[in-house]
């Protein structure tokens, strides 16, 4: 049982930490479950794009693309 709890926290710390820190998901309150799922999918896609571009610090990548929206658009259009 203890191993199961530890593995659950490992998932929370590894998978969700980036979304919580980069996109403030824990602070976001959504009443529509479909919208919440859609936002989670979009956030995961953005994190994958950041990683694909070589960013290891996703908060830094977000600040970079926030400052240069044309670079973000070019990245998405290459998909």
Environment class of 65 (CB within 10 Å of its CB; exposed 0-12, middle 13-18, buried 19+):
buried
Q: Distance between CA 30 and CA 17 in Å, rounded?
A: 19
Which tokens sit at 24? 């403030």
Q: Distance between CA 59 and CA 23 in Å, rounded?
A: 8
pLDDT category at 70 given cuts 50, 70, 90 is very high
The answer to whether residue 63 scores a pLDDT higher than 70 is yes
**Mean predicted confidence (pLDDT) in 47-76:** 91
pLDDT in tens, 7-60: 666 656 666 777 777 777 767 777 788 888 888 888 888 888 998 999 988 889
The answer to whether residue 71 scores a pLDDT higher than 70 is yes
Dihedral sign, Cα of residue 25, residue 28, residue 32, residue 35 = negative
Q: Distance between CA 30 and CA 72 in Å, rounded?
A: 26
């Amino acid at each position: 049982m203890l191993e199961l709890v530890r593995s659950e926290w490992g998932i929370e710390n590894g998978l969700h930490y980036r979304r919580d820190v980069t996109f403030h998901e824990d602070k976001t309150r959504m009443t529509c479950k479909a919208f919440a799922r859609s936002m989670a999918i979009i956030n995961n896609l953005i994190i994958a794009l950041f990683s694909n571009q070589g960013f290891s610090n996703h908060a830094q990548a977000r600040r970079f693309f926030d400052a240069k929206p044309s670079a973000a658009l070019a990245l998405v259009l290459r998909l």
